[in-house]
Chains A and B, each alone.
Chain A
Amino acid sequence: MGKTLNIAPITRIEGHASVSIHLDDTGNVSDARMHVLSLRGFEQFVLGRPVEEVPRIVPRICGICPWHHHLASNKAADACLGVELPPTGRKLRELCQMMAYIPDKILHFYFLAAPDFVLGPDADYSVRNVVGIVGANPELAKKVVHMRYKGQMLLEKFAGKVIHPVAGVVGGFSKPLLEEERKEILAGIQELKDFSIFTIKFAREEVFPKYLDAVKILGVFPSGYLGTVRPSDGALELYDGELRMMDKDGNFDQFTYPEYVDYIGEHTEPWTYLKFPYSRKAGSLNLDENDPVGVYRANTLARINVCDKMATPMAQEELEIFRKEFGRPTHLTLLYHWARLIELVQACERAEELLNDPEITGREHRAKNIEPRAGDGVGCVEAPRGTLIHHYKTDDNGMVTMANMIVGTTHNNAPMNLSVKQAARALIKDGSYDQGILNRVEMAIRAYDP
């Protein structure tokens, strides 16, 4: 009889999950699964609440990407109440979306992912972490901590709270941006942009080339992709646009937020609390890593695959380098890290554009004369981990009667499972495994984290 390896908890990710790897009598992998161990129930307990309060509740779905939940929820609440935003209010929200992206991507690349790349997947667990990074390159580590902190504090100083934000309100934003605040934030963003450009160059030239072998074998399988694009030209969008669902060959459908129910279904398996979204067009879901059906991925690599181009110039240059090397779509899971840094550049450039837009300091930051009403609204944004879909219905008093949410990690449940299975099968042979090998299996999951 074979044995089961329990990898718990999965570490250096945001969230609670474990992996079980089942070995047969010969010591080869018969199955491998990722189990999500909690179910919190946000869809249940926002029922009966005033819809404008929901954006103040749902940020607790994720403390790493609370702004994105806050903003998607605000959009859904706006739609329920039929509110049109003044341009300044819309731009302030988008600015916060960009400013929230920047420290998150710095955190993920350097703190969560880098130990595997800089110290190596076989380094002992006691040094294969941020403290090890500090030891290996103290100057860079100090700079990383400082830049991430700076990004967070710029946002906190302007918007009150940076973790579990409150400044997005139905109809827009709770306060205007003053000119002196604009200048201070712009200076900070320019510094962060320089650091981001340093980071992608450093990663592209010194980090990724050493691991191209791993990139080509770890967690690789064909799948579809979901992301947001700008309707006018198909450029990668992080804040607002239309959704694109691509199949594994690169064909895609493009649709508006409320149409999501026609394109996405959710399947349940008995061994994890988390559901498995799949592409409705495929008709069903099959979790076979060699010939998956209905499986699509979200998050950075998905957005880079579905878009026709980047929305800003330096990010576009980086996309061209990436596409020349890997094509479109590319199914190499570890390239999520590379795609993440291309998006980091776009987020910095877009924040700079917004801060240079005269409307950003306008005083019409919030729509007036909002009234409760019965409504049905879907709000989406791209969170670091993938598309957030918040769908609410309200009664005549603007109280929530239905809430359906599909969030970044959920979209990636099927692909994370397939990546784990593929990586485990590729690496564990004839009962031979060690800590380094099991860490490589986890690396396939870490790629999908924020």
Chain B
Amino acid sequence: MTKVTVAEEWLNACAGCEIAILNVGDVLVDLLVNNLEFVHIPVLIDKKYFGQTGEDKELSIPEAVVGIVSGGVRNEEHKEVLLEMRKKCQILIALGTCATDGGIPAMINMYSEEELKQFYYKDSPTTDPAEYPTEHIPPLLDQCYALDEIVKVDVSLPGCPPHPDWIAGAILALLDGKTEFKMPERSVCDACPTVRESKKGIADIKRLYMAAEYDPEKPLNEMRCLLEQGLLCLGPVTGVGCGGTKGAPRCISARVPCRGCYGPVRKGAKPLVDYMGALASVGFDPAKMPDRRGYLARFSGAHGVLKKIG
């Protein structure tokens, strides 16, 4: 059997997606030995952009059937690498919510570059104030972008990080000759086993310093829905999948509310608007919600969702 060539890159990323690839587990070794040939993956292989002795003038990545890219696009180098990946890979997978929707790092889209650098290089309590660095480093773009704002993306696997079930599922589908792999367009609530009592009239929203009520000896399907308990759970406006193809939502398993790490339920959805409806449905006044943007666009600040303040 011919091995399928794979190139992998990370842009404005944290490496959590790459660790999630490793968390595919024992199956991964067999895939690595029998099915996949990584031709480029900086976290594991020493392939260099400018040749192995660093003397080439142009950045180059080898050709591959499948390209996997994690992270958003925040600076000129990210953009250059992404364009090269698109050019060299037949099928491009956006891996993780940073790649599909900007992820947490896209929260910076609320602020100007000047604000960011002013604190970091001048105002921080430990920093000796200095001019901003500019030499031999790629300039920042005006904001942090999702991949599909720059290039065509073939497969989107959101999640912070994506559950290994979906990573393995997509790889196996591609090995099987398929060119498509789609995540279900349902919400976290659809996979959540907790009990909705549908009684209106929550007295007050509980912030995260207040605990959920539950009996730890009893399973999740005997715990009352956290949103109904007053905790700001973003399940209603978040894409399903964090528990894998079968499991319960991960945060709910830890008895804490969802924060939206799989991004919107479907492309183009408006979590900010939809969540106001969800709050109203449990009887809470949406106007009382604190730090709305900080909750509702925490993982999805690309695609123009988060704009600069002021």
Q: Which residues of A contact B (CB under 8 A)?
A: 3, 5-16, 20-21, 33, 35-41, 43-45, 48-50, 52-53, 56-57, 59-64, 66, 81, 107, 111-112, 125-126, 128-131, 134, 138, 141-142, 145-146, 148-149, 152-153, 159-167, 169-171, 174-176, 178, 260-261, 264-273, 275, 277, 363, 366, 368, 370, 372, 391, 397-399, 402, 404, 406, 433-435, 438-439, 442
Additional A-B contact list (13), CB under 8 Å, known A6-B50, A131-B38, A141-B29: A11-B48, A40-B12, A52-B209, A61-B14, A129-B46, A131-B32, A152-B23, A266-B128, A268-B127, A268-B132, A370-B209, A399-B291, A406-B126
A contact residues around B217 at 8 Å (CB) = 178
Complexed CA–CA distance, A50 and B116 (Å): 19
B contact residues around A45 at 8 Å (CB) = 107-108, 110-111
A38 adjacent to B74 (CB under 8 Å): yes
Complexed CA–CA distance, A128 and B208 (Å): 46
Which residue of the partner chain, among B46, B208, B255, B256, contacts A11 with CB atoms under 8 Å? B46
Sample of 7 A–B contacts (CB below 8 Å): A12-B46, A43-B120, A129-B46, A170-B208, A271-B133, A370-B209, A435-B52
Question: Do A125 and B128 contact each other (CB < 8 Å), given the known contacts A43-B119, A63-B17?
Answer: no
A434 adjacent to B53 (CB under 8 Å): yes
The residue in chain B whose Cβ has the minimal distance to the Cβ of A111 is B44
A261 adjacent to B75 (CB under 8 Å): no
Which residue of the partner chain, among B53, B75, B208, B209, contacts A37 with CB atoms under 8 Å? B75
- B177-218: which residues lie under 8 A (CB-CB) from chain A? 207-212, 216-217
* Secondary structure class of chain B's binding surface, majority of residues: loop
The residue in chain A whose Cβ has the minimal distance to the Cβ of B216 is A176
A370 adjacent to B210 (CB under 8 Å): yes
A43 adjacent to B124 (CB under 8 Å): yes
Question: Do A142 and B26 contact each other (CB < 8 Å), given the known contacts A178-B216, A270-B135, A370-B209?
Answer: yes
A161 adjacent to B119 (CB under 8 Å): no
B45 adjacent to A129 (CB under 8 Å): yes
A429 CB → nearest B CB, Å: 15
B contact residues around A439 at 8 Å (CB) = 46
B13 CB → nearest A CB, Å: 8
Which residue of the partner chain, among A60, A149, A265, contacts B23 with CB atoms under 8 Å? A149
Complexed CA–CA distance, A66 and B104 (Å): 13
Which of A59, A159, A160 has the most C-beta atoms of chain B within 10 angstroms of its own C-beta? A160
B291 CB → nearest A CB, Å: 6
B contact residues around A404 at 8 Å (CB) = 124-126
A265 CB → nearest B CB, Å: 6
A38 adjacent to B12 (CB under 8 Å): yes
B contact residues around A261 at 8 Å (CB) = 125-126
A contact residues around B84 at 8 Å (CB) = none
B126 adjacent to A266 (CB under 8 Å): yes
B73-94 contact mask (Cβ, 8 Å, vs A): 1 or 0: 0110110000000000000000
Q: Does B103 sit at the interface, judged by CB under 8 A?
A: yes
Q: Does B230 sit at the interface, judged by CB under 8 A?
A: no
B contact residues around A125 at 8 Å (CB) = 45-48, 52
B contact residues around A138 at 8 Å (CB) = 33
B124 adjacent to A5 (CB under 8 Å): no
Complexed CA–CA distance, A14 and B17 (Å): 12
B131 adjacent to A268 (CB under 8 Å): yes
Complexed CA–CA distance, A127 and B42 (Å): 14
B19 CB → nearest A CB, Å: 5
B207 CB → nearest A CB, Å: 6
Which 7 A-B pairs give the minimum distances between C-beta atoms? A63-B16, A160-B254, A268-B130, A45-B107, A5-B54, A63-B14, A125-B46
B261 adjacent to A164 (CB under 8 Å): yes
Question: Do A435 and B126 contact each other (CB < 8 Å), given the known contacts A15-B15, A45-B111, A63-B19?
Answer: no
The residue in chain A whose Cβ has the minimal distance to the Cβ of B129 is A268
B166 CB → nearest A CB, Å: 14
B contact residues around A35 at 8 Å (CB) = 136-137
B contact residues around A64 at 8 Å (CB) = 14-16, 19
Complexed CA–CA distance, A61 and B126 (Å): 19
A63 adjacent to B18 (CB under 8 Å): yes
A contact residues around B26 at 8 Å (CB) = 142, 145-146, 149
B28 adjacent to A145 (CB under 8 Å): yes
Q: Does B268 sit at the interface, judged by CB under 8 A?
A: no
B256 adjacent to A81 (CB under 8 Å): no
B195 CB → nearest A CB, Å: 18
Question: Do A267 and B160 contact each other (CB < 8 Å), given the known contacts A5-B55, A63-B16, A438-B54?
Answer: no
B contact residues around A57 at 8 Å (CB) = 104, 107, 298
Complexed CA–CA distance, A386 and B120 (Å): 20
B85 CB → nearest A CB, Å: 13
B253 adjacent to A160 (CB under 8 Å): yes
Which of A33, A62, A148, A169 has the most C-beta atoms of chain B within 10 angstroms of its own C-beta? A169
B232 CB → nearest A CB, Å: 9
A7 adjacent to B48 (CB under 8 Å): yes
